[in-house]
Structure formats: structure tokens, C-alpha cells
Amino acid sequence: MGVYLNPGNDAFQMSVNDDIYIDKSGMIAFVNGRIGKRKRFISVSRPRRFGKSMAAEMLSAYYDRSCDSSTLFQNLEIAKEETFCTHLNAYDVFFLNMQQFLSGAGSADKLVEYLQAEILKELSDVYGEYLSSDETRLSSSLAAIYSKDKRPNKGFIFIIDEWDCIFREAKDAKDAQKTYLDFLKDLFKDRTYVKLAYMTGILPIKKYGTHSALNIFDEFSMITPGKLAKYVGFTESEVRKLCREHKMKFSEAKKWYDGYHFKRVSHMYNPKSIVDAMTEEEFRSYWTSTETYEALQIYIDMDIDGLREAIVSMLSNTSIKIDTGSFQNDMTSFNSKDDVLTLLVHLGYLAYDEKTGSVYIPNEEVRGEFIRAIKNGQRPELIKAIQRSERLLEATIRMDEAEVARIIQEVHSVSTSPNFYNNEQALRSVIQLAYISRLDDYVTIHELPSGTGYADLLFLPRKHTDKPAILIELKWDNSAEGAISQIKDRNYVETIQNYGGDILLVGINYDKQTKEHKCVIEKYRT
């Protein structure tokens, strides 16, 4: 057992031993189907804390010939597959965490030299008889070993974690990045000693111009997850099961953490957030707390044409069509708002709909992160929108009908194109945008089924706040009083009157001719 070559199965054993472990070993069957074939190069990119490292450790534990992992995997999904025993602990495995190598090298320009020296030292301990003492090139050493090794299953499996760290932590070190990509290309391309190469990171493989320097890899990302979609995070059935086991409300988990959708998997949840919510027995922001909002704030503050409008629109629960093809898969080469929005998909701050080619803010947890980033950012128009929303929420709670109507009318004017000003759906978006500051203290429920119909919007207070629930009904060329009457007549309050706090009924009407907004607010009496 070594540090880089055949590191054993201890790391994956710890994951299996955790109080919460979700079996994702089924992906091993997919990877097994690539071993020793032309399509043996796999690149998987996911946001931070989406289980990338655990998947890499799982593959290493499964293939590593220095250990016996049969007991470790015997009760997991992969044990049911025909190929289970064929590849179990059958290969020499390199497990390379590029983050550790970058830290050890001290600087990006020394990464490749340091990495090769460290691996060659360990390789010489195992295969010294096949190696030249003055060889400094890793690919040449591996080729020499492969040509002289007479054992079955000769060759190497490469598991590379955090492969893209140099692009994230040394964003402007272009020469070092190019050297690193050239090293990987030399290590893998046309090399028969490679039985399998599996790389994982946050970013897809870096492009130069319109081409990838490592075009031998099949890429599975948040844009195109393909057959690996169900292994991106936790599926809805897995989250339901966890909620039952931990006596947590699935509906709350869905509001907080649902939102990533793929063609093959309709609902996908952030593993970090779900595990922490179950462990702490509380629904709140967990994933975003692992990295400060400044990371998101940098991109929101970028002065790229159309970016502000896109963010404002998404904050009001709409989707934005984008072109992901021009993104260069790094964190500095931005030529349009679409490049920035595509990066935010890979970072997990936005979700991508493969069917429509559009992006949106996936859930309440991430939406709250956008709000915090905007509040502390450098975009005055976005900051003004947040401040206006805070005034609106305060006016609603103190039941200032005239002020509520005035602010909503202002938001409608500044945020809606004249072509869509008299559009009913636009009014709903205006209301959601106007109340965006609610996200700190409220969960939003759209078209709450209750009584004999559907209320338009419900803002339900989170456990940590003593604010009242706010139930909003919208009317078009009618009256705000009529909206209140509909709430009462159709008994919309029925499903929430037992939640234990005050409820404000808010009726809002828009007149197409005068373009005036009217508001009526009543406190619900049980």
C-alpha cells in the first residue's frame, strides 16, 4: 500500500461507516464497461460538496490490487453486477489529489515538476528494476514498466481528484495551466499503459479556442450529465427515505434543497445539505456555508451586458435561455453574460434545464446566497432592488396598504418591458421580485392548494422568525377587495391556520387602463 500508487481502501471505508451513507456504487458498473477500451477516459465535473471525492475514493478502493475490498462492497449495489468480481482489486491504481500536489509544489509553475518527482520516487520503490535512475518523465517510466511487466491485468488505472484546482486557485497562471494540460495529454493520449483514467473536478476540461487539449475524455458535467445523472447527488427517492428514517419533513427538504433537474433524473438534491440537515435535525443553509458569498459576489458584480437583468429575472423565479457553447471552462475567460451564467451552473449556483437550454436559481438555499452576495456587492441597481424589497416587506407587515401598492407599482415599472407590462404572468413575477428580501425569513409556496382553489402566493415564516405568514391573491382589472373576498370564500387559509402564528391576507389588483396597483391587507382572525 502506497501514498499515490495503490493507497488501499481506508478512505472509502470511512464513508461507508458514516451515520448517513447513500450507496452510489452502481456507477462502478458503468466505469467497468470502459476499462481497456478506446472510451476509457472519463471526466466528471460537479460543484463542491457533491460527492466527487467520495466517488473517486470508491473507485480506487474497488480497483486497488493491494487490498481486499470484497467485504466492503459485498452489500452494495455493484455486488449484484456480473462484472463485480472481474475487476475487483485487479489493477494498479494511481490516486492523485491535485489539490495536495499544488499545495506541496508551492506555486502553479512548479506543479508538474513536483508531481512527477513525487510519483517517480514511489514508483521506483515498487518497479525500480524496470526504471532508469535518471528518468524524470512519468509517461516514459510508465511505458517502460508496461513493456516489461508480464503479469495479467498489467497497466494502470488513474483516479485524479480535483484535477482542475490549478484553474480555480491560479486563475491567471496561463503558462502553468498550459504546461499542466500538456503533461496530462502526454500522460494519457495514445498510451496503452492506461487501463482507465477517471478525473473529477468542478470545471469541465479547459478549452483553448474551440478545442479541448484533452479531447480523448468523455465529459459528464452539470450541463450534460448523461448516464451518470443519477450519481450527481441524492435522488428524490433517496431523500424521501432519509427523511422517514430521521423523522424530518420531506416537503421542507424539497423547498430547501431540490432544484437540479436532468433529462434522466427529474429531481436531484445537494448531498452535503441533505446529510447536514438530517444530522442537525434542522433545515437551513449548509452547502453555501462551506464557501463565503464573496465567490458568487465576484461574478454578480461583473459589468457584462445583460447580466443584471438576467439575475433580477431569475430572482423572481424565471428561467433564462443561455448558450453554453462559448464557455472556455475556466474562471477568467468571459466574453458574455452566458459565459458567467454557465460557470455558475458548474459551481452549483444555477441549475441547467437540458430540455429548454435555460438556467434558473435551483432552490431557497441558493437563492438566499444570491441575496447575501447582492447586499454586499458593488451593483447599486441590485442593492437598490433589495433595499426596496425590504421596505415592501416592512410595509406589508405593518399593513400600510398605500405604501405596498406604491412600491409594487414602482417595481412593475422598472423591471418589466413595455411589451409585457400588461401580461398577467409578468405581474406574478413582479410580486415575487418585489418581495425577494423575504428569503431570509420565509419559505415561498406557489399556488397553495387549499379549500376550493389555489392561492397565488404564500410566504410561510421559517422557524427562527416571529413574523406573520403572508397569503397573497392577485387580481387583474378587478379589485383588491375582491381578492380578499376570494381568499375567504375559497378558504385558502385552511391548510395553514394551525401553524401557530398571525396570518396577513393581501389582495393586490392591477388596472390595465390606469396602470395603477391597489392593495388591501387584513389580519386573519381564527
Span 12-70, pLDDT tens digits = 999 999 999 999 999 999 999 999 999 999 999 999 889 999 999 999 999 999 999 99
Burial of 244 (0-12, 13-18, 19+ CB in 10 A): exposed
For residues 17 and 454, which has the higher predicted lDDT (pLDDT)? 17
- Grid coordinates standing for 89? 482489486
Range scoring the smallest mean pLDDT among 67-76, 131-140, 444-453: 444-453
The highest-level CATH class for domain 10-220 is: alpha beta
Burial of 251 (0-12, 13-18, 19+ CB in 10 A): exposed
**How many Å apart are CA 339 and CA 330, to the nearest integer?**
10
% of the chain beyond a pLDDT of 70: 90
Q: Around Cβ 216, how many Cβ atoms within 10 Å?
A: 20
Contact 131, 169 (CB under 8 A): no
SS3 content of the chain, % helix, strand, coil (to 5): 45, 15, 35
Q: Around Cβ 465, how many Cβ atoms within 10 Å?
A: 11
**How many Å apart are CA 311 and CA 320, to the nearest integer?**
9
Summarised one tens digit per residue, pLDDT across range 164-208 is 999 999 989 999 999 999 999 999 999 999 999 999 999 999 876
Pick the CATH number of 293-380 from 2.60.40, 1.10.10, 1.20.1630, 2.40.128: 1.10.10
**How many Å apart are CA 361 and CA 414, to the nearest integer?**
21
Contact 15, 271 (CB under 8 A): no
Q: Is the pLDDT of residue 308 over 80?
A: no
- Name residues whose C-beta falls within 8 Å of residue 163's C-beta, 6 or more positions apart in sequence: 43, 98, 184, 199, 200, 201
**How many Å apart are CA 194 and CA 37, to the nearest integer?**
10
Q: Where in the chain is the domain with CATH 3.40.1350?
A: 398-523
Q: Is the pLDDT of residue 454 over 50?
A: no
DSSP H or E segment with residue 428? helix 424-434
Summarised one tens digit per residue, pLDDT across range 268-286 is 999 999 999 999 999 888 8
Q: Is the pLDDT of residue 416 over 70?
A: no
pLDDT at 499: 66
- AA letter at 146: Y
Q: Where in the chain is the domain with CATH 3.40.50?
A: 10-220
Range scoring the smallest mean pLDDT among 80-84, 90-94, 223-227, 409-413: 409-413
**How many Å apart are CA 98 and CA 516, to the nearest integer?**
59
Q: Quick check: helix, strand or coil at residue 191?
A: coil
CATH architecture for segment(s) 398-523? 3-Layer(aba) Sandwich (3.40)
Mean predicted lDDT score pLDDT of the chain: 87
* Eight-class DSSP state of 248: -
pLDDT at 466: 83
pLDDT at 313: 77
Q: Where in the chain is the domain with CATH 1.10.10?
A: 293-380
pLDDT at 451: 44
**How many Å apart are CA 311 and CA 343, to the nearest integer?**
14
Whole-model pTM: value is 0.83
pLDDT at 421: 43
Q: Is the pLDDT of residue 488 over 90?
A: no
Whose grid coordinates read 494519457? Answer: 188
Alpha helices, H only, 201-336: 236-245, 250-257, 271-280, 294-300, 307-315
Average pLDDT over residues 492-511: 80
Range scoring the smallest mean pLDDT among 79-93, 444-458, 469-483: 444-458
- AA letter at 5: L
Summarised one tens digit per residue, pLDDT across range 349-384 is 999 998 899 999 998 888 878 877 777 777 777 778
Summarised one tens digit per residue, pLDDT across range 210-253 is 556 788 999 999 999 999 999 999 999 999 999 999 999 998 89
